[in-house]
Amino acid sequence: MIEARDLFDLPAGVSYLKACSATPLMRPVREAGLVGVAKKSQPWTIGIDDSFGAGERARTLFARLIGAQADDVALCPSASYGLSIAARNLPIGEDRDVVILEGQFPSNVYPWTDAIGRTGGQLVTVPYPDDGDWTAGTLAAISDKTAVAALPAVHWTDASRVDLEAVGKRCRETGTALVLDLSQSLGAVPFDVRVVEPDFMVAVTEKWLLGPYQLAFLYVAPKHQRAIPIEFGWMNRERAEDYDNLVDYRDRYQPGARRFDMGEKGNYVTLPMAIEALERIIEWTPAAIEDHIAPLIDMTAEEAVGLGLIPTPAPGRSRHMIGLRRPGGLPADLPQRLAARDVHVTMRGGCLRIAPHVYNARADVERLIEALAAEL
């Protein structure tokens, strides 16, 4: 078990189970952000290292987390931004398709409907699997006609899983580009680009990566690092650090995936926060974080069955999050009613999402079950 609750500003009576929505900040992460805010109050304290150095440190840490190089990582404001870069650069074309999951989160859908609108092609939707495991259906949907498989590691509503290692292999066999949105797993589930070999992969920091809002990292495989950005910021050009000579306009970009970095990438508030959080996650390791959460998920599943609820089926589900459904449906205001009892969860698509992180323990699941028993 990871002993981490004291690192967070969580009052004793509050059971917060919404890592799938947004995680609370660790105190050192909050402090790092406050230092950044204070710098803006005294802007003469903001230096070139704040504008470029912090981004490099964050990029390097994210690369370490996923088995990549710093050159392979771009700084983005959102998952949609990173996925739009992927869709801007991967041609679909008539008679070719993009494979997604039924009910997939829209950030990894709209960029593809736009690409299809521009270049032709169609969306192929893998239907929801009865056993909670998307792998077989996804493998069957990917064919030589599939230009792109645009997927998560787990479904955002209930943590039903996709085996990305198997999907990566299938994509290589069929010449399909693999574009991943790991916003609902990275940090709490191990992932290695050397094993899965995605073309692009994005993850926001505000959820399982314990970081700030409005920051995401985009992994870009080396073969795509000469692709076209979606904005043309001056900070991504060669010698952008040389403020005196910025109008000596440059055609060349900074190396690797830096050409895709968002405008105003030198965010001296959010980047130091992400650095603190990534350092801690790397120290703990995603495998240990997953091992911390998994018994809480198993306990939730066992207890929920006793209340007549249906958990995401075990063989297919992820170990870090779970969905609970009820035959006939759950009351729409259930999250608010549970919140009134200081148990904080979310509901998406009629499914109650239970998403613990390192700050949770068995007592939180006990409180959840008690609150559900009282409200259902």
Ligand X SMILES: Cc1ncc(COP(=O)(O)O)c(C=O)c1O
- Sites of contact with ligand X (CB under 6 A): 78-80, 105, 107, 152, 156, 181, 183-184, 204, 216
Residue among 51 and 205 whose Cβ is closer to ligand X: 205
Residue among 7 and 25 whose Cβ is closer to ligand X: 25
Strands (E), the chain: 15-16, 73-76, 97-101, 122-126, 146-151, 177-181, 200-204, 216-220, 310-311, 322-325, 343-344, 346-348, 351-354
DSSP one-letter string for 3-52: --GGGB---TT-EE-BTTT-PPPBHHHHHHHHHHHHHHHSGGG--HIIII
Residue among 159 and 240 whose Cβ is closer to ligand X: 159
| Alpha-carbon torsion (102, 113, 256, 78), positive or negative | negative
Residue among 4 and 83 whose Cβ is closer to ligand X: 83
Q: How crowded is the C-beta side of 50, counted as CA atoms within 13 Å?
A: 18
Instruction: Please state the closest distance from residue 80 (CB atom) to ligand X, in A.
Output: 3
Instruction: Please state the closest distance from residue 239 (CB atom) to ligand X, in A.
Output: 31
Separation CA 330–CA 332 (nearest Å): 6
Residue among 20 and 240 whose Cβ is closer to ligand X: 20
Nearest to 258 by CA among 278, 239, 279: 239
Residue among 7 and 159 whose Cβ is closer to ligand X: 159
Residue among 7 and 196 whose Cβ is closer to ligand X: 196
* Radius of gyration of the chain measured on its C-alpha atoms: 21
Nearest to 268 by CA among 27, 52, 59, 26: 52
Residues near 166 by Cβ (< 8 Å), separated by ≥ 6? 135, 139
Separation CA 137–CA 117 (nearest Å): 25
Separation CA 311–CA 315 (nearest Å): 11
Residue among 78 and 300 whose Cβ is closer to ligand X: 78
Instruction: Please state the closest distance from residue 266 (CB atom) to ligand X, in A.
Output: 20
Distance of CA 49 to the CA centre of its chain: 27
Instruction: Please state the closest distance from residue 36 (CB atom) to ligand X, in A.
Output: 21
Residue among 78 and 254 whose Cβ is closer to ligand X: 78
Instruction: Please state the closest distance from residue 345 (CB atom) to ligand X, in A.
Output: 14
Instruction: Please state the closest distance from residue 19 (CB atom) to ligand X, in A.
Output: 11
Residue pair 99/174 in contact by the 8 Å Cβ criterion: no
Other beta carbons within 10 Å of 235: 19
Instruction: Please state the closest distance from residue 215 (CB atom) to ligand X, in A.
Output: 9
Instruction: Please state the closest distance from residue 129 (CB atom) to ligand X, in A.
Output: 18
Output the CA angle 208-31-38, nearest 5 degrees. 125
Instruction: Please state the closest distance from residue 82 (CB atom) to ligand X, in A.
Output: 8
